[in-house]
């Protein structure tokens, strides 16, 4: 097999239906819900970047242009499902109950940012693709305990080159695990393009080799994403095994705030990609359906501005952790043989704070 049959999409670049829509998409509420979260996610993103630029947050990976992937996951997942994220899924994290101030804390270099979210969800994974193993492990645990939940694991196109991903896919295929891999193909892994990353025509082909239903979906088409993610989750929960979804999108921003994409990426490519971005696309669709209006847009924008501003205030006003917080949560019970280090630390603290 040289390629997959087709890239699944329902909305064209202008938000016109280009295929008969799935039944559920005739109800506007789920799509409106997605749209609102996408707008909030984008405003949050802008604010995080502004905070980084003014020295109030650390290096931050933008999700600009990829909101439909995150938000479809947030919308389609049940609260009890398990999310195993990489670092670019702010939308899903917010929808699953992480506070915006917590995301800011994490990227602002404060451990408390990893404390939020549902108890079963994994923290953001920074080392590329290492989370894939956790996802299949969690899926196996659900399977053995006969729990009707599913695991969602996200990763980037660069991550698909790592053994960790291929090994996890392989196991998911062997054990028919309740896991959905969502591969965010945003075309670039820092400066390395999709073509330099893999010689196959579709990254989803890697799932075929593992015996897993695998598809390419237009990741900027919220309807297509919602539909396929929902279907894959149902398959997982009902014992049908794993799915690999290659969500085709584009990273409209720099890789992170520490990156300058203009060094390696042609401008006109970015300009072209803006024409396919997910928020404008869904908005046009919703407007045409009469489900959204300029007035609603303005109201919602204002609401989001307030919510983001309140979260930023909360973040900035949080008192620092005490210096010895680095010793907290290292072990369930503090090994008393390490007391000497606490003592050294206390002396350092006293000296530096002049106590």
Partner 1 sequence: MNIQDKTMVEAVNLALHHAMGADERVVCLGEDIGVNGGVFRATVDLQQRFGEQRVMDTPLAETLIAGSAIGMAATGLRPVMEIQFMGFIFPAFEQLITHAARLRNRTRGRMQCPLVVRAPFGGGIHAPEHHSESTEALLAHIPGIRVVIPSSPRRAYGLLLSAIDDPDPVVFLEPKRLYRIQKQPLADDGERLPLDTCFTLRQGSDITLISWGASVRETLLAADRLQEQNISAEVIDVATVSPIDIETLCQSVARTGRCLIVHEACRSGGIGADIAAQLSEQVFDCLQAPIQRVTGFDTPMPYFRQEQWYLADPEDIVHAAVSVVHYQ
Ligand X SMILES: Cc1ncc(C[n+]2csc(CCOP(=O)(O)OP(=O)(O)O)c2C)c(N)n1
Note whether 23 and 243 are within 8 A (CB): no
Paired residues of 244 in beta bridges: 181, 214
Q: Which residues bind partner 1 (CB under 8 A)?
A: 58-59, 106-111, 113, 124, 126-129, 158-159, 161-164, 189-192, 196-198, 258-259, 263-264, 320-321, 323, 325-327, 330, 338, 341, 344-345, 348-349, 351-352
Q: Which of residues 293-352 bind ligand X (CB under 6 A)?
A: none
Does residue 163 belong to the site contacting ligand X (CB under 6 A)?
no
| The one among 128, 132, 171, 247 contacting ligand X by CB under 6 A | 128
Q: Which of 131, 154, 186, 253 binds ligand X (CB under 6 A)?
A: 186
Q: Any contact of residue 287 with ligand X (CB under 6 A)?
A: no
Strand pairing class (243-248; 214-218): parallel
Q: Which of 214, 124, 200, 199 is nearest to 169 (CA)?
A: 214
Contacts of 284 (CB under 8 A, 6+ apart): 14, 15, 16
| Residue 159 binds ligand X (CB under 6 A) | yes
Binding positions for ligand X, 42-101, rule CB under 6 A: 88
CB 226 within 8 Å of CB 91 = no
Q: Is 157 in the site for ligand X (CB under 6 A)?
A: yes
Q: Closest approach of Cβ 159 to ligand X, in Å?
A: 4
Contacted entry of ligand X, partner 1, none for residue 188, CB cut-off 5 to 8 Å set by kind = ligand X
Beta bridge partners of 151: 82, 179
CB 257 within 8 Å of CB 56: no
Of 258 and 316, the one with the shorter C-beta distance to ligand X is: 258
β partners of residue 183: 155, 246
CB of 295 to partner 1, least distance (A): 40
Least distance CB 310 / ligand X (angstroms) = 28
Buried b / exposed e over 151-164, threshold 16 CB at 10 Å, is bbbbbbbbbbbbeb
| Residue numbers at the binding site for ligand X (CB under 6 A) | 88, 126-128, 156-159, 184, 186, 188-190, 251, 255
């Amino acid at each position: 097999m040289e390629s997959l049959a087709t890239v699944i999409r329902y909305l064209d670049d202008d938000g016109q239906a280009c295929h008969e829509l799935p039944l559920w998409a005739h109800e506007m509420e789920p799509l409106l819900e997605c749209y609102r979260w996408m707008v909030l996610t984008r405003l949050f993103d802008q604010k995080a970047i502004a905070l980084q630029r003014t020295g109030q947050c650390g290096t931050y990976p933008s999700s600009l242009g990829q909101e439909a992937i995150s938000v479809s996951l947030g919308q389609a997942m049940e609260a009890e499902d398990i999310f195993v994220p990489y670092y670019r899924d702010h939308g899903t994290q917010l929808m699953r109950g992480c506070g915006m101030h917590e995301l800011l804390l994490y990227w602002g270099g404060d451990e408390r940012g990893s404390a939020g979210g549902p108890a079963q969800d994994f923290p953001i994974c920074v080392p590329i693709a290492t989370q894939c193993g956790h996802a299949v492990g969690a899926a196996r645990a659900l399977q053995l305990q006969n729990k009707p939940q599913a695991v969602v694991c996200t990763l980037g196109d660069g991550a698909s080159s790592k053994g960790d991903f291929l090994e996890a896919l392989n196991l998911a295929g062997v054990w028919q695990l309740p896991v959905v891999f969502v591969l965010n193909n945003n075309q670039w892994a820092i400066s390395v393009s999709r073509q330099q990353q893999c010689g196959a025509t579709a990254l989803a082909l890697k799932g075929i080799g593992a015996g897993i239903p695998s598809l390419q979906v237009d990741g900027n088409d919220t309807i297509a994403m919602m539909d396929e993610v929902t279907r894959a989750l149902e398959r997982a929960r009902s014992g049908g095994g794993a799915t690999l979804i290659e969500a085709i999108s584009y990273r409209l921003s720099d890789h992170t705030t520490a990156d300058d994409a203009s060094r390696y990426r042609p401008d006109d490519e970015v300009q072209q990609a803006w024409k396919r971005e997910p928020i404008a696309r869904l908005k046009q669709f919703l407007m045409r359906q009469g489900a959204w209006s300029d007035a609603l847009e303005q109201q919602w924008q204002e609401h989001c501005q307030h919510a983001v501003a309140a979260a930023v205030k909360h973040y900035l006003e949080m008192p620092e952790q005490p210096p010895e917080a680095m010793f907290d949560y290292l072990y369930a019970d503090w090994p008393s043989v390490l007391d000497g280090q606490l003592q050294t630390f206390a002396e350092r603290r006293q000296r530096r704070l002049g106590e």
